[in-house]
Chains A and B, each alone.
Chain A
Amino acid sequence: MIYLITIVLNGGNSFKKANIEGFWGFGGNQMIEFKNANKYYGDFHVLKDINLTINKGEVVVIIGPSGSGKSTLLRCINRLETISEGSLTVNGIEVNDKKTDINKLRREIGMVFQHFYLYPHKTVLDNITLAPIKALGQSKEEAKKTAHAYLKKVGIPDKADSFPSQLSGGQQQRVAIARGLAMHPEIMLFDEPTSALDPEMIGEVLDVMKSLAKEGMTMVVVTHEMGFAKEVADRIIFIDKGQILEDADPTEFYVEPKEERAKAFLSRILNH
């Protein structure tokens, strides 16, 4: 009975493995949960009745046309934007509750932006250690050690003392990923992480993301990189005009999208 209610509450999100696990695990598995979430910019209805559950360890790719609300959806998760109605929980904590310590919650959510946003006045090392030192209270030595480890992981161990302006776009984005990881977050959010990169640098960033996905990081990724989605994504969310139109398995989605608008969109991005 309760299980049926769960399904109904999830907006008829069908009989999914995820929901069963979420239920039997007493909700412990659900990292991010939108329930009937709406967002408006003034009169403009940018997110429409969003119901979306993302479980621990899942890699979810969000795609959709420009202006459809992908970034907005992603940015609500760490409250860079706030939803206007409904509920949004991360790790069981209501994101928009006044009592929620947003800074504490944000430590659990790393974010990588299209344009990197490294701090230009700080070295790569200082970029990575700033938040661990100030927000987590780590000692400088500890933070530096972690930073070096993650720089190695993203493949640029020798760039610790460089300034961002001395790095290529691909290197900058990998530093941004290392900066996010250094906080040991539960979730990583990526907003078109490769869209600002020259084609020859896209691979190196995607490789880092893929290895992260395979290690079990919970990831929400706005990207049109089909290869990435097919290889590591558990689900594809197709969003158009603020609505989630499909929540599908990646291979199925790319072969045979159910929605007309998804078909039209896919043919557009695949034909150029």
Chain B
Amino acid sequence: MLDFTILTENWDMYAEGFKVTLLCSLLALIGSFLLGTILAVFRIAPIKPLNWIGTIYVEFFRNIPLLIIAFTIFVGLPTLGISFDGFQAGTIALIIYTSAFIAEAIRAGILAVHKGQTEAARSSGLTYIETMRYVILPQAIKIVIPPLGNQFINLVKNSSILSVIAAGELMYQADLISLRTYVVFDVYIIVALLYLVITLPLSYGVNYLEKRLAKSN
């Protein structure tokens, strides 16, 4: 049976880790959603240089390991005189990395809206921005919510990698507890359960939203 005294005896560290993971995920979620939306619009806007920037960004960052981005920010940037603590570096790395995936999800959603919708809106005299805002994005969001939910869940789980740059989140705390107590299995099972406390509600929230939006049509 799982030894829950590990949890109670190391409560402070678990709680700290949980708090940091939650905060880091939340910040990265907001940041990567905003950056991802901008990048998605860059990729489809009728302006070539923006397309290039968007494409280069997405193809570069989603195809390299998150760990390397985190290391670069944590270890590399200080050599240029810009330094972050583990938490800051980790959150920025998560935003940079996840926004590439989110951009792709949003772009796919926008492209999935029939081009006749754009033509109808534009031919009535609406601008590109108005068309996006009132016609395309409201339809795209319904398509985008499930993949977006997946990206957010991945984001929470990926934050565990940041333990290697001492971000102070759950996984980092678990490593410390394990070193201190010489217990391995139980320590990490408890961590897994704590991740579920974050990801399961997220998952259910996404399902709920998806159903509600489907009904509203």
Contacts and interface: CB of A to CB of B under 8 A. Distances in A.
Interface string B124-136: 1111001000110
A107 B125 contact: yes
B117 A130 contact: no
B122 A80 contact: yes
Contact of B124 (A121, A163, A165, A183): A183
Interface in B108-142: 114, 116-117, 119-127, 130, 134-135, 138-139
Contacts of B216: 121
B217 interface: yes
A113 interface: yes
Contact of A134 (B117, B123, B126, B139): B126
> Which of A103, A118, A163, A183 has its CB near the most chain B CB atoms (within 10 A)?
A103
A135 B217 contact: no
B125 A131 contact: yes
Nearest to B134: A130
B120 A121 contact: no
B117 A113 contact: no
Contacts of A130: 121, 124, 126, 134-135
- Main SS of chain B's interface residues? helix
A104 B125 contact: yes
Interface in A144-181: 163, 165, 176, 179-180
Interface in A122-156: 130-131, 134-136
A113 B119 contact: yes
A78 interface: yes
Contact of A120 (B122, B123, B124, B217): B217
A111 B119 CA distance: 9
Interface string A163-205: 1010000000000100110010000000000000000000000
B144 to A, nearest CB: 14
B179 to A, nearest CB: 54
A80 B114 CA distance: 15
Q: Which 10 A-B pairs have the closest CB atoms?
A: A131-B124, A107-B125, A117-B120, A135-B125, A117-B116, A111-B123, A106-B125, A103-B125, A121-B138, A78-B123
11 contacts: A106-B124, A106-B125, A107-B124, A110-B123, A113-B116, A120-B139, A131-B125, A131-B126, A135-B126, A165-B217, A183-B124
Given A119-B135, A120-B217, A134-B130, 5 more contacts: A80-B123, A103-B125, A130-B126, A134-B126, A183-B125
